[in-house]
Amino acid sequence: MHRFKLAIGWRYHAYKQAVRRYLSEVKSAVIRPFREYRQERQLLETVRGKIPSVSSNGRAIARFKVAVIGAGSMGGHSCLGLQTLPQVEIAAVADQNPCALERLRQLCHLSDTRCYPSVEALLNEEVVDLVCVATNTTSHLAVARQVVAAGVRRLIVEKPIGNCVAEARDLACLCANRKVKLAVNHSRRWQSDYAAIKRCIEHGYIGTLRQVYAVPGPGGLGMIGSHFFDFTAYLSDSPLAWVIGFLDSADRPLWQGPQFKDPGGYAVVGLQNGVRGYLDNSDDLSYKSGFVVLKGDAGRIEIDERLRQWHLDSRSLGRRTFQFIDTTDVRRYVAKVVAQMLTDAPPPCGATEGIAALEAVVAVHLSSSRGNVRIPLPLQEKDAELEFPFP
């Protein structure tokens, strides 16, 4: 070995490092499935640990009772996520469609869960600690109001928070008055990889953030675009100030039914701290692939959700690549959201953030219909009262 060292001189350390890296890559490729499984297990353990076993008044809690309203695809994901939490019991499910209810019951093996044909029936019969509203967007706000009126203290509403800004503001006031903890499920706010990215920005690795460029692909501004409006505000640490939008002209049919409309499009967003956001959610982008570039004055961060990777490119310190360590599985992040909601801590995405994302989506519609003018945020009274048939 000594002779070898002498023969290759100073390159010895470089070779050693290269061999070590190669071995490490081979190792991670071979044991990757096992490692991912182990990480998921660790994640679930963490999530479970965050749910308190005693209530704030010190009394032991047997199990938290949770009700899910809406037995569609997101309702199914919510139930599967809730089932991973041993401290949680899915007490009841409601949907006006009996077929959907039966399908959900079979999919999630909900033998002990009571099913109701309406929200009213569920709220009359059940006393629950938390309600997940996973209906279509047009009914989010009405259902949420009923839930709050029934005295439930914790509420998760799927994104977007609703289809009318003024009504969403009313719900926020109602929740604040009744001290109801409301979360809007803009999932990236709960994801630890995005929290890590935010920490790197705060640490100064890319200098001051100047621009967020997001290309989530097709899927509708209400359903997908709203995530990225919220995400831009979250990473920029600033409220949205204005929006200029361009809606797709083609009428994309939605699987939820012809009564719903959620066109794609693209938008330019200004934030109060001067950060610019560019979102392209156009329908002609062939496939969904969350790709985001965060550009600062001293570097950039590229996030590729499809490859579950992000790259930190600092002007002075070079490029580093990170694999996502958190889950992007819908069921598992629902579990994280629920676990967080059952603590006393405020939710990372509450009514204010949820409404801001909805306002941005509405502003794109308004801007597009008014010749792409700049729409200042928050929306003024008349604009805020408009209703949209988001699915």
Give me the residues that bind another protein (CB under 8 A), please: 13-14, 17, 20-21, 42, 192-193, 195-196, 199-200, 202-205, 207, 297-299, 312, 314-318, 320, 322, 325
Q: Nearest distance from residue 200's CB to another protein, in Å? A: 6
**Minimum gap (Å) between residue 43 Cβ and another protein:** 11
Of 157, 172, 164, 184, nearest in space to 69 by CA = 157
Kindly state the helix (H) or strand (E) to which residue 312 belongs, with its residue range. strand 309-314
- Cα–Cα distances (Å) from 258 to 37, 219, 254, 390, 391, in that order, read 41, 16, 7, 11, 10
- Nearest to another protein of 200, 267 (CB atom): 200
Tell me whether residue 22 or residue 289 sits nearer to another protein (CB atom): 22
Least separation, in Å, of the C-beta of 49 and another protein?
Answer: 11
Distance from C-alpha of 115 to C-alpha of 99, rounded to nearest angstrom: 12
Residue number with CB closer to another protein (199 or 370): 199
Could you tell me the smallest distance in angstroms from the CB atom of residue 27 to another protein? 11
Terminus-to-terminus CA distance in the chain, angstroms? Answer: 68
42 versus 97: smaller Cβ distance to another protein: 42
Between strands 181-185 and 154-158, the pairing is: parallel
Integer Cα distance of 118 and 229 in angstroms: 32
Which lies closer to another protein via its Cβ, residue 7 or residue 99?
7
State the minimum distance, in angstroms, from the CB of residue 19 to another protein.
12
Structure tokens at 302: 């590229």
Shortest Cβ distance from residue 14 to another protein (Å)?
5
Q: Which is nearer to another protein, 33 or 318 (CB)?
A: 318
For residue 332, the minimal CB distance to another protein (Å) is 17
Whole-angstrom distance, CA of residue 261 vs CA of residue 281: 15
Rounded to a whole number of angstroms, the minimum distance from the CB of residue 390 to another protein is 34
For residue 331, the one-letter residue type is: R
The residue (of 45 and 112) whose beta carbon lies closer to another protein is: 45
The smaller minimum CB distance to another protein, of residues 102 and 297, is found at 297
DSSP 249: -
The three-point CA angle 228-331-122 to 5° equals 100
Q: What is the DSSP string of 173-206?
A: HHHHHTT-EEEEE-GGGG-HHHHHHHHHHHHTTT
For residues 36 and 30, give the distance between their C-alpha atoms in angstroms, rounded to a whole number: 12
> Coil, helix or strand for 67?
strand
